[in-house]
Amino acid sequence: MAHLIGLALTWIGALGIIGIGLAYLTKNEKNAAGFGLRTYPSEDARGWWQVKGIRDVTSGIAPIVWIFLAPAQLGWLMLVLAIIPTGDAAIVLSNRGSTTSALAIHGLTAVAMVVAAVLLLV
């Protein structure tokens, strides 16, 4: 049962971050404002938003590939990928961004990923 819950959390996270990444690739300004930083890049910084978008899409595709090709190592991958939202939270906090966004968006994402990893590894 623990494995199935970990797998469900992985699918939810993977599909969710792919959606967020695609949104950053297309509707950048609104998404950048929701990241949690006090200011967000101007229109001429579109390329920076797209860098985040492709990172997010790739971060979502990787676990899906592992589900099918390396399921025994999926928990370890999720543990490593949890570094990304942890880093995002640290970036928001270190730039005096929204503490709520840092903890509620990025922090909870990292926690969910670690929980998924543990459930997949037990």
Instruction: Give the side-chain half-sphere CA count within 13 A for 23.
Output: 13
Q: What is the pLDDT of residues 20-37, one digit of tens each?
A: 999 888 876 666 666 766
For 37-56, what is the mean pLDDT? 78
Q: What is residue 38's predicted lDDT score, i.e. its pLDDT?
A: 63
d(CA 93, CA 70): 35
Does the structure show a pLDDT above 90 at 101? no
Cα–Cα dist 109/4, whole Å: 18
- In angstroms, rounded to a whole number, what is the distance separating the alpha carbons of residues 82 and 43? 29
Above 80 in pLDDT, residue 107?
yes
44 phi and psi, to 5 degrees?
Answer: -75, -5
Report how many domains make up the chain.
1
Q: Write down the pLDDT at residue 12.
A: 98
* Lowest mean pLDDT across 24-28, 87-91, 99-103: 24-28
pLDDT surpassing 90 at residue 15: yes
Q: What is the mean pLDDT of the chain?
A: 90
Residue 39 has pLDDT above 70, yes or no: no
Confidence (pTM): 0.88
**Burial (CB count within 10 angstroms: exposed 0-12, middle 13-18, buried 19+), residue 72:** exposed
